[in-house]
Amino acid sequence: MKEGTHRQSLFDAARVALAKSTSRAPRRKRRNTPAVAAGQRPFEVRQSHELAGRIALAEKNYKLAVTELRRANDQDPRVLYLTALALPGAGEAQKAKEVGARAADFNGLSATYGYVRGKAKAMITTPKRD
C-alpha cells in the first residue's frame, strides 16, 4: 500500500511540475517508470503512458504524445481531451474533432469530466480560421 501511494505521489508531482511548466517533470517521469514497470499494474501502466503523453505534448512532440496517450486510459475524459489537443499537431485535425467530441460528450462515471467538458466543447465548436 505504501509503495502504491509513493508511485501515485510521483505521478501527481510530475503532473504538478508540468502544470507549473518546470523542467522537473521529465525527471520525475523517469523515476516513476521503473517503479511502475516492476509491478505491471494495468492502472499504473496507463497512468505512466498518460504522463509520457503529457510530457511529449508539453515538448510539442505531437506524434509521440498521440502514441502515448492512445496507450493511456481511454475511459478518462481528461486523456481524451489531451489526445484531441495532440492530434492536430500530428496532422490529424478531423480525428481531433472526433476525439474532442468524445471528451465533451463523455457518458460515464468520471471525476475528471468536469475539468475538461467546457474546454472540449469549446474545442469542437470553435470555427476553423483560414
**pLDDT, tens only, 88-118:** 999 999 999 999 999 999 998 898 899 999 9
Percentage with pLDDT > 70 across the chain? 82
pLDDT band at 44 (very low <50, low <70, confident <90, very high): confident
Spatial contact of 51 and 29, defined as CB atoms under 8 Å apart:
yes
> Residue range 24-46: average pLDDT?
69
Residue with cell 509491478: 39
- Rg, the chain, Cα only: 15
Task: Round to whole Å and give the CA distance between 83 and 10.
Answer: 22
Q: What is residue 32's predicted lDDT score, i.e. its pLDDT?
A: 60
Task: Round to whole Å and give the CA distance between 22 and 50.
Answer: 18
Nearest CA to 48 out of 77, 75, 73, 66 is that of 73
